[in-house]
Structures are given as C-alpha cells and as structure tokens.
A and B are shown apart, each in its own frame.
Chain A
C-alpha cells in the first residue's frame, strides 16, 4: 500500500452529502449515520446517468442554436435572433467585450462541457491513466463555470420584460431559449452525476 491510501482500499467511504468518513460495512443500503444520505463507494450508475444527461443536453443544444431565441419588432421590421446572430449584433452595434462574454457563456462553455465530459467518460471507460491530474482539474473547471451559460436565458427574459408596455416595439421570447435553458440544466446535472473518483480508479503507476 502506498503513502496515499484511498478510501476503498481501507474499507472506508466518504459520505457524498456531509463528507463524514464511514466504515464500509458492505451492507447494500447503508446510510450515513450523520446525515442519513445513502452511502456509496462511488456515485450509483455514474457513467450511465452522465452519458444519458449529456446526450440529452447535446440533442437539445441543436435546436437551441438553430431556432431563434428572441424576436425584436422595431419600427415594422421583424428581426429573429439566434444565439449566434445575437452575439454578432452585440459585436457590431453594441460592445465587443460583452459580445465575447456572451459568446463564451453560450457557445464556448457548453461546447467545452460536451467535449470535456465526453472525454472524461470515454477515458473512464477505457480505464486510462493518461493525464489524471489534468483531467481532474478540467472536471473541476467545467463544474465551476457551467452555470454561467444561463446568461443568455436571463438576457432574453430581461429584454422581454423591458418592453411589456411598448406598443410599437416588442421583444418576444422564441422556443430556442427554452431549449437552451434546458441544455444548461441538463449539462449541470450531467457534471453533478459524474463521479471524478472514477478518473483515479484502477492501478496507480504514474503517481
């Protein structure tokens, strides 16, 4: 046994909810004596659930980008904005800095999440030892920045509300924003269901 023992090697389980270190009694439905959450050595069905949520999120991400998220009616001209065209408009007419922020939040972050979570899942399936510390760090990063993708959903909501009494101008939310909101929620659920411990499971040879 090496200098850094892992909980399952010592017959211990760290509670997922309260963090208490418990002895693994091998009882199938053991509960944490402190918080009452059920004890698992690893999150149950972590890979299957993460895959399912991630794939569902990816499927919804397609209409989220293709369908318009917002309609602006201004002086008789009707303008349907998709996420990307909204970013372009902001870049050209508004402020390029904010365009970059919105682009990052609604395109880069979700894409990164799909890529990173997909890579993590595949490498876990193969039991790969490749760059474990870096993969662990990448996971913590996507978990940390994931919810910033909600930005565009709030923007559409705000713009809609702004013109609630406007007669000649109107802003309407369109279905794209619904798909996008659901994508964000599903990707968040996907990363929560992933168990980063799986990255470190298997033999240690490189650390």
Chain B
C-alpha cells in the first residue's frame, strides 16, 4: 500500500490500492490476486473490474512495435485499386482524407483523419513511450499526463470499423467499376486484429505496476 507524500501542501485524500471501486455501480470490492485467465467481475452489476495481465511488459512493447510497423504499411500501401480503362488507380488513406477535404466534406475528412490516423498514432506512441520506461521499472517522463491522454483517446480509434467499411465499399463499387482490395487493406485487417489484442491490455494497471517513487 502506498501512502501519498503530501505534495504542494494540498490536503491529500488517503488512497489505497487494496480496494477497487466498480466504475459502473460504485460498489467497493476488496482486491484479490488474480491468476492466469482470471477476470474479476462486480458482484452487483457484473461489469468487469479488472483482469489478469497475460502479457509481460516486454511482450506488450513487442506488440506496440509490431503495430507501428503495420500502421506504417496500412498508411503507405494503397487500400483499394480501381481498374479503369486499362489504367489502375490506387487509393491510400491520406488520398481519401484529402479527397474528402476538397469535396467540401471537411467535417468527414477531420473525422476520418482523427479516428483512423491521429488517435491510433497517439495511442501507439504513448503506449510505446510508457512501456519503454516501464520495462526498466521506471515511470516515463510525463507519465501522469500521457496516462490521462491515453484514457481520453481510447474510445476514438476506429480502425476495425474502417476494415468493414472497405469491404462494403468494394462490394458497392463493383456495381460500377472493377475494384479490387489492395495490400493496405490486409495491413488494416492485421491492424484491427492487433488492436483487438491491445484492448485486452488494461493500461491502468501501469499505475500500480510502477510505483510513483521509482526514479
């Protein structure tokens, strides 16, 4: 149990990590050690309280590095190829976003750029940053701020939805043109799977894993 060192003279509320409050119904639970495959659920509302972290910090870092590589590929490689009078037209994510911007749909362009590019990128960079230090048992510079940012951008990454969107677009476009999926889509599909594995990581546990007084 860590007790707060009173910083900047404020009245600090006492805190304890042996308790857990259900975020969904406010029920207080005593924390119990979890073993492999365990999921702690709230006895009142059945929401998940926490689960056992299967991946080690090294494995998480490796996963982040993989996601980065796949993310670059997903953005560099064309997503869909359109055959057109013997010509081939390739569409890349940024081409799509720029196109929407020019077609007077700036709102849509901003939504796509945020949910498909900026938020996923921020999430990965932030996680990578935290994990590089965490594996040495240290808090990264700006740990607190980065953790808070991660908490807020979590719901706004939509790569999985995009993969389904590509699928629907191909079927729709085939009514008019000759369209085939391109390498970028497969990169996106892998990205979606990796992101799903990622959401199995409870980032919040980093708060407890790395004590505040660590160098």
Contacts and interface: CB of A to CB of B under 8 A. Distances in A.
B103 A21 contact: no
Contacts of A152: 165
B105 interface: yes
A119 interface: no
Contacts of B105: 157, 160, 173, 177-178
Interface of B: 4, 7, 10-17, 19-28, 43-47, 79-80, 82, 84, 87, 89, 91, 95-97, 99-100, 103-105, 107-109, 111-112, 115-116, 144, 147-148, 151, 155-156, 158, 161-162, 164-169, 171-177, 179, 204, 207, 212
B177 A4 contact: no
Interface in A29-57: 30-31, 33-37, 39
Contacts of B16: 21
B112 A153 contact: yes
A22 B15 CA distance: 5
B84 A165 contact: yes
A94 B171 contact: yes
Interface in A64-100: 72, 74, 86, 89-90, 93-95, 98
A101 interface: yes
Centre residue among B100, B174, B176 by max chain A CB count within 10 A: B176
Contacts, number: 231
A162 B84 CA distance: 11
Interface string A7-22: 1101011101111111
Contact of A22 (B10, B13, B204): B13
Contacts of A166: 82, 84, 89, 177
Interface of A: 4-8, 10, 12-14, 16-25, 27, 30-31, 33-37, 39, 72, 74, 86, 89-90, 93-95, 98, 101-102, 105, 132-133, 136-137, 139-140, 147-148, 150-166, 169, 172-173, 177-178, 181-182, 185, 188, 192, 196-197, 199-200, 207
